[in-house]
Amino acid sequence: MRIDILTCVPNLLESFFAHSILKRAQQGGFVEVNVHDIRDYSTNKHRTIDDYAFGGGAGMVMQIEPIARCIQALQADRNYDEIIYLTPDGELLQQRAVNQLSLKGNLILLCGHYKGVDQRVRDLFVTKEISIGDYVLSGGELAAAVLADAIIRLLPGVLNDETSALTDSFQDNLLAPPVYTRPADYEGSKVPDILMSGHEAKIEEWRYEQAVKRTRERRPDLLK
């Protein structure tokens, strides 16, 4: 998989991808992440990429030309399965969409800033619009990082224990059950006996019951 991220603040994203699982995923050849500075595609000497909104109003709007040039340069070298714009008015991100995106080959993630991008970018280039929650961030970079992280950890081989992504919260519309590790007794607070029993089938049953209980208490909407 290849993910190209278009932003006017590339520094924000570079360190995010340079650590931990995301770093290993790239070193292992499971994914290639490229961050592009939209300013590199500006044609004026101040490298500006935004302008005042037609019709007035507060806030700047990101112009179509630099974004279009950047996308077209990428498309000249390969086809993209989706061009995704991160925006609070996009489709709310759910695990199901992450699963689907993890099966794609090449993705472009476009990060907005200020008042967002000129509507024509969305009309002419963008194939999918995604929001990571009903709140407004100061830019799309954190949202792109969230989306990329959720996708990359699902790529086969990225997680050490291949089954562990399957037991995540949301994968079966259930929240994950509680987990414990050593010590078995922390100042009198003990790990449930069943987990120490070695009885695999009973442990699975207990985990399932706990997942249902937790989901009913915290997210009853998921059980509908």
Given the rule CB under 6 A, which residues bind ligand ADE? 86-88, 112, 131-133, 135-137, 140, 143
Using CB positions, name the residue nearest to ligand ADE: 143
Whether the CB-CB separation of 81 and 104 falls below 8 Å is answered with: yes
Least distance (Å) between residue 108 CB and ligand ADE? 15
For residue 78, count other CB atoms closer than 10 A to its CB.
10
Of the pair 109, 159, the CB lying nearest ligand ADE is at 109
Buried b / exposed e over 157-176, threshold 16 CB at 10 Å, is ebbeeeeebeebbbeebbbb
For 68, 95, 152, 161, 178, the CA distances from 175, given in Å and listed in that order, are 41, 12, 21, 19, 9
Least distance (Å) between residue 212 CB and ligand ADE? 30
Least distance (Å) between residue 80 CB and ligand ADE? 19
Distance CA 36, CA 75 (A): 14
Of the pair 54, 135, the CB lying nearest ligand ADE is at 135
Of the pair 132, 159, the CB lying nearest ligand ADE is at 132
Of the pair 74, 110, the CB lying nearest ligand ADE is at 110
Mode of pairing for the β-strands spanning 128-131 and 106-111:
unpaired
Phi (first) and psi of residue 35, to 5 degrees: -105, 130
Whether the CB-CB separation of 88 and 30 falls below 8 Å is answered with: no
Of the pair 107, 158, the CB lying nearest ligand ADE is at 107
Whether the CB-CB separation of 5 and 36 falls below 8 Å is answered with: yes
